[in-house]
Structures are given as structure tokens and as C-alpha cells.
Structure 1
Amino acid sequence: MSEQIKIGESLSKTNAQRSFYRATVEEFLTTLTAEIVGHLSSRHVALHSSAQAEQIRAWEAEIAILHDAFSEMDVGVYGWSISLEVSLFRLAKRLDAVVLAPGVVAVVEFKIGEKSYLGAHKAQLERYACSLKDFHEASQSRLIVPILCADCAPQVSQSLQLCDGVANILFANRETLIDAFRLVAAQSDFDALPLDGVGFDASAYRPTPTIVEAAQALYQGHAIADIGRGDAADEELQAAAQALRDIVSGAETLRRKIVCFVTGAPGAGKTLLGLDLALKLRSGERPAALLSGNRPLVHVLTEALATDSARRGQKSKAAAKYEADSAIQNLLGYLKEHTDGAKPPEHVIVFDEAQRAWNAEVGQELMGRAKSEPALFLEILDRLEWCCLVCLVGPGQEINRGEGGLPLWAEAIADSIRNGVKWEIVAAPAAIDGGQLVCGDGLASDSDFASLDCRRVASLHLANAIRSYRNPLHGFWVAALLESDLVQARGFADQMDEPPTYLTRDLERARAWLRERRRGQRSVGLLCSSGAVRLVGDGVPPALRSNELSPIGHWFLKPYSDFRSGSALETPVSEYGCQGLEVDFAALCWGGDLIWDGHAFAPRRMQAPRWQKLRDPEKRRFRLNAYRVLLTRARAGTIIFIPSGSEDDPTRSPAEFDQTAAALLAAGCEALP
């Protein structure tokens, strides 16, 4: 009987208590139903205009079923607690009941009057259970047991099975709820720290939205504060968002032209920050757009926004798609549209992954003009009376030739200023100074740029990764691994609560691992490098190409019941199809294009009929960055599949794969049990 509440409601807005009612089970059993319903109704009225009669009848039925189950249990319930109508504010839902036993959190979802256990209800409950496990601090160290109680449904024989700290759903009716509670009691861990309703309510709940969920929330008008985690990473995002709004406001008020550089770790929320700025300004008087050279990212986001808006009945999908397309655009399309000298409509442009901007040689090929991408952008925006160009800069994501990094921007800005354009530069310190945070030289590496005035703003750097919400050190582990520093990687792994990745030599076991974890609407998928062309010999189909936009959109947005979905585990995507996007759990199919040679990772390319070592430094870097992208796509966990190879096929050498697997295990990966 869960009911939606407003996104962004805080504990302070709801009388500082997450649950409408909470008590020990002993107190619950000695309290009159009318008194409990009174508590529920008073809290309900605080959020809604009234407590409807249907809702009150449902509460009365739920309380009676719970009372009967607890009263008849032949094992003690001492130390157990119960909370009713428990709000998960940022999920915009309420849990019907949370029963706390030692070391166990049981989530009970009631469907009063139902005669069967419906698939939609099971999916709903799985999402609640997985959300607690992933994002509720007190629940993360406890077993989560979801119980679906359809009071008129038939009895189901069942047992408890565990995966990733969450049990399978237990099905119960009015008479058999007691059996589910007995299974909960059997899992009790009396060594666990005590947890009652007060502690459960007070514990932090920090859901981390996917980039698609965040874009949908921002498109609906919510602020970053409404969808953030409520932690240090959230504070960083809010501070950066405010700094950008102030910079844009200053540019407009004073009629200035500003170039702004935002830096951040992989998965720290740079694209989210850009979306917030573009979508907020888009609905106001200062037209703005987020531009990306990543066509799959643009397609997935615009398709998701249009579909979600149409589903909510706000406007037709065509109208929503038109709006989304104007707010999130393809970089090359924007450049080609504005080469004629006309003023662009947007005064504020967000350039995603700006370190990947291409040089003059690529500009000649793509645009017929021997100018770099930064130079072309500055030329276009100079036509406006005022403007603000926000460049989002991340480390180690360059996977195409001609991507010149921050020195390319420094050169273009210095040239434009020499030609009389009064650009102001505002930047995170890392963008100016360079280093590991931007994987290379900064703006000041250009001698002409170094003489320019540049305002440093510390809040424009996002240090806290939010994508890997279970493993904040994951990005550091990936960096050490791909630098071939297995000792340092192992050091990071030893600091983690769980392994940085799992490893298996069996593709079907990797798929099974993902299937177990796609409960609760979690997304899963197969990934592989575009250079891993011999994986087909080990049963991995060719990856979707980056120009197959509709299939990639289906891969990320469809449910696992649709064979086109990545969660159906039929087709992988490469670094070109998934860069900037994410799944909850991924299986990285490791190919022969990056093997451990006994001392370091050796990037290779297929020169049929054999592998050839890459010796060009830029091409080696691109191959390593491909694996950097793939290893950082999963929000909750990754499993690496390394084939066994074949003695009859020199392109699939068992010895090379064995050596690579041994290196990953030495770096802290854990073999799948």
C-alpha cells in the first residue's frame, strides 16, 4: 500500500522521523490498533490533505495480520522492533513495515485483498530491499529479507536463499506471515550491533542516482540538492553548481565572456553538474545547452528524457524530444550548424569531456578548416555580446586520435586574446596546474597562457566519486592497475570493504553472477574493448558499434525482459558505446588486446592473422584508456571474465590469458568462489 511522497522531503519537514510509527514488538503487541492508526493518520495528514478511509482500513488489516503473526510465534521476539510507513524520501516511496531482528532487516510489503503475488509487486519490493542494501547505512551490514504479504493469496512453500546480502522474496498470506518471520528468526545474528526503530530512522539514506535518473529529475525541475546523497560528495556538487550559477550570472550582468574549467575524478558528477546548469538555464531567459562529442550519451539521455516526460503525461514524446534535443546536443552538429557566421542562440555552453577536444588536423578532416575544436568554439561564442563556456574536464578518458587535452585549450584561448577578444578564465586549480587529476599537462603548460590572468576557484573541482557508491577507492585502484603498479593496486584493494572486482574464467558463471544481481531494477550488462576482436572465439558476440544509436539506447533503457536490453546479457557494448554512461553491475570480457607480459600491461592490436604490440605512445594510451572506461562503468560491482583460450589458436593463447589473470589476482581481484 506504499504511496508516493514528494522528492526532496527531509526529515525536518516530517517531524524529524522517517517512520510514521515505531515501537518494540512487545510495545506493538500491547498497543490498541486504534492508537497505532491514530499515529499513522496524524503523520499522513501532515503530508497529505487527509487520511482516506481506504488507507485507514488497509492499516487496520496490516496491524491485525502483524499482531497475529507476532503473537503466535514460538520463538522469542525479544529485541525485535517494528516501524510502519517508513519513508525513503529520495526514492519517493514509503515501506509498509520494517521489522528489525538481530542482524536482520525484514521489509514487509502488504497487498491487502490480493489473491496472487503479482510481478509488479515483486519488482517493487525487490527495489525497496536493494535500495536499503545499497544506500541505507544501518542496513548495509545486515541481511535484508523482503516479504510480500498478499493476504488472500495461496500458501507457497519456500526457503531462504541469499545473494549479495539480500534474500529472495518470501511470499506470505494472512496465515503464513508467521512462517516468514520464523525464517527471519533463524537468520538472527545476536553478535550484530543492536538496531531499533530510532536507530533505523536516524541512519543515513544516501541513494546515488544514475546519470539517466538524475537527468530525468533535473528535467522535471528538481534541484541537485533534491537528488543528491546528502554527504560530502553532495555538498561538493551543490557548491560547484552554485559557483557556476554565480559565474554565469556575472557574465550576463557585466556583459563578459568567460571560459570556465571544472575538473573531477571519474564518476564524480561532472556531467550531472553540466546537466543541472543546462537544463535549469534552458527553462529561463539565458538559453543554454550541454554539448558532447559522445553520440551514444546524447542519444540515451535525450531518449530517456523524452520517454519519461511522455510517460508522465506532461507532453507528447515528440515535443519532449524536441526540447531535450535543444538542451543536450552533439558537439559536431553544433559546430557544423554555426560555421556560417550567425550568432548561436545559447549564451551558455557546457562542453562535456573538454579534454577530449580535437586538434587542427582533425578539424581539417571534419570541418574543412584547419582549426582545433577549442578555437572554433571560441570563434563562434565571440559573436555574442556575453557568453560563458563551461568546460568539464576528467582524467584518462581519451580514446580517439587528435584529442589534445588542456594545452589545446590554453593555446586557443591565448591566440583569441592576442587577437583582441577579452576572455576571462575561471578554473579549478587542477585545470591550471595539471597533474594526475587531469592526467597530464594543465593550461599553464602553455607559455603564452601562463602569462594570462586566471581566477582559481577551488569549488570547481569534484574530488569525491559518486558512481562507485560501494567502493569510493575503486577509481584509484583502476588507475594503479593500468599503470601496471600491482603492489599499489593491491594496497588500495586491501583498504576496500569488498574486492575491487571479481574474476572468473567461465563466461556463463559471469552471466549467472549478473542475473542474480539484476533484481530491484538494477541494470547489468556485458562490456568489452573495441580492440578485443578475438573474444568471439570464446562466445562473446561483437560489441555494438558507436553509430548504432537506437540499439545502444535499447541496451541502456530497456528492461531485462526485452532481448535488446543490456540486462538480457546477449550483446556487449564497447568503450565507445558506454563512455559517460553506467550500469549497476558489469561483466568486463577481457580480450587479447591488453595482456600482462610479466612486467606490465601490453596494449596490442589485431593485425590479422596475429596480434601486434602497439608501440606508438598515443595508441598505447588509447588502449589503456579504453580499459579505464570499461573498468569504471559499474556503480556497484564488476566481474572480469578472462577466457581460457585455445592451444590451437595463437590469437587466444592460454598462457597469455593465465598470466593476465594472475596479474589481476595479484592486484586484488578475487576469484569467484
Structure 2
Amino acid sequence: MLTKSYLATSVPDFLTQSTEDILGRLAIRVGLEHSGNETQQIRAWRIQIGLLKNALANADSDEWGILLELPLLRLGRRIDTIILIGDMIACVEFKIGSNTFSGADVNQADDYALCLRDFHAASHGKRVVPVLCSDQAPTISLSGSIDFIDDVSQCIRTNGEGLSDVLGAIKSLATGDQIDWQAYDAANYSPTPDIVTAARSLYSGHSVKEIGRADATAEALERTANRLKEIANEARRDQKKVVCFVTGEPGSGKTLLGLDLVFSGTAGRVAEEPAALLSGNRPLVFVLQAAIAEDARQREGIKATEAQRRAQQALQTLLGYLKDHAAADSDPPENVIVFDEAQRAWDADTGLKLLGRAKSEPELFMEIMGRLPWACLVCLVGSGQEINRGEGGLALWGEALANTEDWTAHISDKALAERKGLLGFFDIASGADVSLVNDPVLHLNSNLRAYRNNLHGAWVAALLDGNIEMAREISNEMDHPPALITRDLSEMKAWLQARQRGDQRVGLLASSGATRLVAEGIPPSPRSDDLGTVVHWFLKSAGDFRSSNALETPLSEFVCQGLEIDYAGLCWGNDLTWDGHEWVPRKMRAPNWQLLKKEDARQYRINTYRVLLTRGRAGTVIFVPNGDETDSTRTPKEFDGICNILLASGCQHLS
């Protein structure tokens, strides 16, 4: 029977097989799947098999299962050994010949265990123990207990001789039924890459199908990706101009689809057809540019300047694109353009300020791309994320479509049916001759970002709509609370620091309007044009004070929109309070708070918290200050009201 792992069997069967037979099976599999000299790998396997046989020989392991070289196919890695001990999972990383326990090796073992917990179907709800076995390292005594954080323990370090004791300690924790090794080996592994990892993978030539999940969510995403490529190819074949509106909640995979079309689509870079993803979100552009440039430099051995040039060609800022092609004789080289966060398109007044032309962003785009014989403009639309003045939303796209006969719009029926803040522009354009094509697959229903809580987006929407009862009902259907609440900043930081393991990233977030958080010792966010600082925040590793993991500096909605981290610490300011019936958006006009009365300004403030509440992939903890009776800008009553309504909506106390 062919297994997913190079070898999957019961421990008794493993012990009765000869080392040579096991090596032969491993060698055959590695030969089928990889080319090159595997002599060193086989030598390491021989030692590893001997260590495992010695460690398992005296264990009461008749029901245990063992898997060697379990491939994490979509990450291009393999886990050395998994031992199923009752209802416990030992995830063992061997470093044969090593006499140390390096930080990088510990991170690797941690990361494998976290990947199993989050993305391996048979590991869900089980406790996972990462083990680093450096066979030549000094003996380390086991600590008194093995502690778990979210079902994954601290990494246990051992040498070859101590492996038996480690397995015995794990066995003592087992309380449930034995995990079936055959079912475990056959289970799906469905990772959800963060946007930086996805950009690197797509740019290196992989597709959405190769890097994404292996479930219904991934199938839907792949259908949308294929449909976009089909539309682009039809536009090229028929020499026509089309605009596609891809809609979905924050974290549903819209930017991932845009990157896929530009980097790996048949109308994109792979087919040598000019294409680019444009965004008005400069931090997003620069973080992704830096990530894929560094990856390309290391992978292809090219110079840093060349890697950066390629990244800048594929990912560009909207304003730079519009300035470059403002002149009537400046035709763009790209027939395929992806417009990220198209709901944030600015109006004619802003166009006059920025470019000296009283035209909206959609009008300028259709004018510029209209010079080409064919064009495919893909607009990625997230509802409720407009956070800045001058952002006219999708009504501007309707006006632009109503004023041209050259373009056909592809949009889902679901998006057409939604009027509030999404596609109300067809109210304006209803009397115009607008060419529309109903494409149901262009709306994404699932949430990829919150991979441990796919109802999170619906909960955020209900909370910020002020529908607390609905938010509570949604939270009751979740496997984990939508967020945890603390009134102690140091407690929040400790919780986040404990979860910064392997490649997982933690960080602080705060509203740009929460100006009084400085009294709690929380500094303001870097500005969105402080791009070097933002790139370091997202890409520098733990141990670097510039990294998000240092928990020193929060990011505001303007800086973090479109990007993500694993665990977010949201510092809730009193720029958005609860009066007992609804949310009350405010701004600081020193020395006092002032109510925001204009509807668009009120909505921008609420949308700010929508952005901040949807940045965490694995979990969010919210710090609500206690306030100060002597400070009228930080009253305890206001903060208590915020805390109480968050708890009423389904959040739980951190403690």
C-alpha cells in the first residue's frame, strides 16, 4: 500500500523490519520524487532508524504508529518522524551529527508542530509535542512537566540516548484513544499561506492550486482564478475591454487571486504577457516587493538591483501608474491590470488635487487602458474597508461605466444584490446602457485569513453593525472565541510572546485616531510613508527590535491594511466607544474628544476597526485600558462600556 509518508506503519511492525528494508523503502520513494545524490540523506536515515529502534524497543508501544518523512507538499518540506502515542503526537526533527541545539533548529521543529495543528486534518484538536533530537548533543534533563499553549508544547530537546525518556514522558500525558496511523497518514494537509509567503510562492512560478488549501475553500478559489484567466484570454482573443469585480470579505483571498493572475496566469508573467498588480496601499506594495525581491535574489542568484527591478515591474503603486501614463500618447505596456482594494478609488476632487485633472480614479483607468486594443482590468473589492476621505467607493466605477460604451463589466449576482457600501453604483447607472455579465464565481464566500475561525469575518461585521445579539450567536458557533479581552497591557504582550514560535508572527495594532493610547505607554504608529520601518516590521525576524515580534510599536489601519500577522494584539482606543445602543465614533480635537457627525467620517472610523479586527490569522487579543478618573479624555466608564460590549458579543477574558 502506497502511503503519503515515505513509511507509515505500526511501531511493532517497524521494530520487526530490518534497517536495510526500511532504508530501501525510503530510498525508492526519494528516488521517485527527487533527483540528485541522496547518499548523505541515506546515511542520516540509517542513524535515525537505529536511534528510533533503540528508543522504541523498551516502550510499551504495541498500539503506537510511526510515520517517516511525512511530506508537507505545499510547503516543499518533510517532517522527519511522527510517532502517534495514544492521543498524543510526537513531531520529531533529527539533526544527525549535530552536537548543539541551535535556535534555527528549534524554530524548525516548532514550525512543523504548529503546521500540523493548524493545517493537518487528523491533528486538529490533538496535542502535539515538537522534539528536536541532535544525536551528538550533551544530555539535557527533562523538566518536571510539559506545558502546552494552544495544544502545542514547548520544544523538547534531546540527544540520541535521551529519546526513549522523551517518548516515555509524552506517553504519560496520553489520556484518549490511540490515533490510527493509517487514517493519520491519509488525512489532508491544507495550509493557508500568509500573503507574503503566497507572493513569494506565486512569483517563483507556483499557482494558487499548488500553494493553497486542499478543501472546498481552495476549490472555490481555484475556480475563480481559472475564470479570471479565461476572461483575460477572451479579452485578448476578441480584442475587447473588460472589467471584473472580485468581491469578498477581508481575508477571503482576493489579493491572492490578483497575484496569481499577474504572476502565474496564462495572461500574466509566465506567458510573457505584460501584467501588473497596482495598489494605492503603499505599505502593502513595498512589503511584497521587498519579500519577493529577496526571495528571487536568493533563489535565482541574481543581483539585488535586478531582483528589485523585477519586483517593482510586477507590483506598482496606483498613483505612480497614473502619473506615468497621464499623457494621451503614453500607452501602458500592460494589457492586464489588477486594481487592489478598488472600493477605495478616489473621486474627481482628489484627482484634481493629486494629478491636476478633475477625474475619478476609475475614469482615469478606463481612459488610459482604453487606448489599448484590448484590456482586462480586475478590481478586487472588499466591503466596509473604506478608511480615508476622498474614497468614493464603487459608485465611482458605476459612473465611469455609464459614461463609456467600450467596457463590459463581469460581476457576481450576489455583489449586484448588495447595495450598502458595495455596488450601489448601479442605482446611478441603471438608466445607462451598461454591459453586464453575471459571473457567480467572482464572489468569494470563505475566509482564508482566519484559518482557525472561518466565521470570524461574519462576527466582525455583526459587531461593528451594532448587532450584538447576532455577534453572540455567531460566536457560539465558533470553535474558539472571536477574540480575548484583557485590561492589562503586559498580560497581552506576554500572551503574544508565548505564541511567537517557529515562523509565526505576532504584533500590536492600534487605530490612528486612538491618540490617547500614548498615556498607556503605547506609541503612535509609523506613518504609511515610512516604508522602511513598515517593511522591517513585517519581515524582520524575532530578536530584531524593528520586527513586529518585538511588540514595541503598533501599526495603524493605514499601514496594516491588506497585510496580516498570525496573532494580533489590538489596542482599543476610545475613538470608538459604545453608548449602550450603538458605536460612537469620535476624533480628538485637543483638549477634548469631538463626535464625528458626518456619515462618511463615522463609517471611516468604524471601518478602521474592521481592518484592525481582521489582521490576525490565528487569533486576536484586545487590550482595553482601564482609564483614569482624573483624565476626562480617558474615563473608566467609557472603557468599561467597550469591554462589556465586547464580552457581550462573544469575546472572553484572557485570564
TM-score, normalised by the number of residues in structure 1: 0.94
Note the 1:501-650 alignment, pairs <5 A. Answer: 501-650=483-632
1:200 maps to which residue? 184
DSSP 3-state at the match of 1:665? helix
Query: Per-residue displacement from partner, 1:507-556 (whole Å, max 9, x unpaired)?
Result: 11111111111101101100000000000101111111111111000000
- How far apart, CA to CA, are the structure 1 residues paired with 2:98 and 2:205? 36
Query: Per-residue displacement from partner, 1:148-187 (whole Å, max 9, x unpaired)?
Result: 1111111112331211110111111122111111111111
Matched, 1:396 2:384: yes
Shift of 1:580: 0.2
2:53 maps to which residue? 67
DSSP 3-state at the match of 2:394? helix
- How far apart, CA to CA, are the structure 2 residues paired with 1:44 and 1:282? 32
Shift of 1:55: 2.2
Of 366, 369, 375, the residue aligned with 1:387 is 375
**Structure 1 residues without counterparts, runs of 5 or longer:** 1-14
DSSP 3-state at the match of 2:379? strand
- How far apart, CA to CA, are the structure 2 residues paired with 1:484 and 1:196? 46
Write the letter of the residue equivalent to 1:322: R
Matched, 1:306 2:288: no
DSSP 3-state at the match of 1:561? coil
Write the letter of the residue equivalent to 1:324: A
Of 339, 353, 371, the residue aligned with 1:365 is 353
Query: Per-residue displacement from partner, 1:212-242 (whole Å, max 9, x unpaired)?
Result: 1111111111111110101122111211111
1:466 maps to which residue? 448
Structure 1 window deviating more from structure 2 (588-597 vs 53-62): it is: 53-62
Structure 1 window deviating more from structure 2 (358-367 vs 426-435): it is: 426-435
Shift of 1:448: 4.4
Note the 1:11-50 alignment, pairs <5 A. Answer: 17-49=3-35
Query: Per-residue displacement from partner, 1:466-512 (whole Å, max 9, x unpaired)?
Result: 01100000000000000111111010100000100011111111111
Matched, 1:374 2:362: yes
Of 340, 358, 365, the residue aligned with 2:327 is 340
- How far apart, CA to CA, are the structure 2 residues paired with 1:449 and 1:461? 25
Structure 1 window deviating more from structure 2 (282-291 vs 145-154): it is: 282-291
Matched, 1:452 2:422: no
DSSP 3-state at the match of 1:520? coil
Asked whether the 8 Å contact 1:527–1:587 carries over to 2, the reply is yes
1:315 maps to which residue? 302
Query: Per-residue displacement from partner, 1:549-580 (whole Å, max 9, x unpaired)?
Result: 11000000110211101111111100000000
- How far apart, CA to CA, are the structure 2 residues paired with 1:358 and 1:49? 52
Matched, 1:58 2:44: yes
Shift of the 639–450 alpha-carbon distance from structure 1 to 2, 3 Å rule, reads: farther
Shift of 1:449: 5.7
Write the letter of the residue equivalent to 2:349: E
DSSP 3-state at the match of 1:652? coil
Asked whether the 8 Å contact 1:411–1:448 carries over to 2, the reply is no
Note the 1:175-214 alignment, pairs <5 A. Answer: 175-190=161-176, 192=177, 194-214=178-198
Of 196, 202, 211, the residue aligned with 1:218 is 202
- How far apart, CA to CA, are the structure 2 residues paired with 1:632 and 1:621? 17
- How far apart, CA to CA, are the structure 1 residues paired with 2:242 and 2:114? 44
- How far apart, CA to CA, are the structure 2 residues paired with 1:375 and 1:449? 19
Asked whether the 8 Å contact 2:75–2:211 carries over to 1, the reply is no
Shift of 1:451: 4.0
DSSP 3-state at the match of 1:312? helix
Write the letter of the residue equivalent to 1:396: G
Asked whether the 8 Å contact 1:431–1:442 carries over to 2, the reply is no
Matched, 1:407 2:395: yes
TM-score, normalised by the number of residues in structure 2: 0.97
- How far apart, CA to CA, are the structure 1 residues paired with 2:423 and 2:38? 63
DSSP 3-state at the match of 1:521? coil
Write the letter of the residue equivalent to 2:61: V
Note the 1:424-435 alignment, pairs <5 A. Answer: 424-435=408-419
Shift of 1:51: 6.7
- How far apart, CA to CA, are the structure 2 residues paired with 1:110 and 1:449? 69
Shift of 1:313: 3.6
Query: Per-residue displacement from partner, 1:57-110 (whole Å, max 9, x unpaired)?
Result: 22221121111112233xx22321111111111121111110001211101111
Shift of 1:56: 2.2
Asked whether the 8 Å contact 1:432–1:443 carries over to 2, the reply is no
Asked whether the 8 Å contact 1:413–1:449 carries over to 2, the reply is no
1:293 maps to which residue? 280
1:87 maps to which residue? 71
Write the letter of the residue equivalent to 2:294: T
Query: Per-residue displacement from partner, 1:99-140 (whole Å, max 9, x unpaired)?
Result: 001211101111112111122211111111111111111112
Aligned length: 649
Write the letter of the residue equivalent to 2:237: T
Of 66, 88, 98, the residue aligned with 1:114 is 98
- How far apart, CA to CA, are the structure 1 residues paired with 2:13 and 2:430? 74
1:102 maps to which residue? 86
Write the letter of the residue equivalent to 2:647: L
Structure 1 window deviating more from structure 2 (125-134 vs 154-163): it is: 154-163
2:147 maps to which residue? 161
Asked whether the 8 Å contact 2:235–2:376 carries over to 1, the reply is yes
Asked whether the 8 Å contact 1:23–1:81 carries over to 2, the reply is yes
- How far apart, CA to CA, are the structure 2 residues paired with 1:544 and 1:189? 49
Asked whether the 8 Å contact 1:499–1:668 carries over to 2, the reply is yes
Shift of 1:444: 2.1
Of 265, 270, 277, the residue aligned with 2:249 is 265
What fraction of aligned residue pairs are identical, expressed as a percent? 49
1:354 maps to which residue? 342
Query: Per-residue displacement from partner, 1:442-470 (whole Å, max 9, x unpaired)?
Result: 34212446642311111111111101100
1:6 maps to which residue? none
Structure 1 window deviating more from structure 2 (195-204 vs 123-132): it is: 195-204
Write the letter of the residue equivalent to 1:17: T
Shift of the 135–377 alpha-carbon distance from structure 1 to 2, 3 Å rule, reads: same
Shift of 1:589: 0.2
Of 475, 499, 511, the residue aligned with 2:457 is 475
Write the letter of the residue equivalent to 2:371: R
DSSP 3-state at the match of 1:519? coil
- How far apart, CA to CA, are the structure 1 residues paired with 2:180 and 2:47? 24
Asked whether the 8 Å contact 2:247–2:442 carries over to 1, the reply is yes
Write the letter of the residue equivalent to 1:227: I
Shift of 1:252: 1.1
Asked whether the 8 Å contact 1:353–1:392 carries over to 2, the reply is yes
DSSP 3-state at the match of 2:555? coil
**Structure 2 residues without counterparts, runs of 5 or longer:** none
Asked whether the 8 Å contact 1:45–1:51 carries over to 2, the reply is no
DSSP 3-state at the match of 1:587? strand
- How far apart, CA to CA, are the structure 2 residues paired with 1:164 and 1:450? 55
Query: Per-residue displacement from partner, 1:336-378 (whole Å, max 9, x unpaired)?
Result: 1111112111111111111111111111111111111111111
Asked whether the 8 Å contact 1:433–1:442 carries over to 2, the reply is no
Asked whether the 8 Å contact 1:150–1:174 carries over to 2, the reply is yes
- How far apart, CA to CA, are the structure 1 residues paired with 2:340 and 2:377? 11
Note the 1:134-173 alignment, pairs <5 A. Answer: 134-159=118-143, 160-173=146-159
DSSP 3-state at the match of 1:171? strand
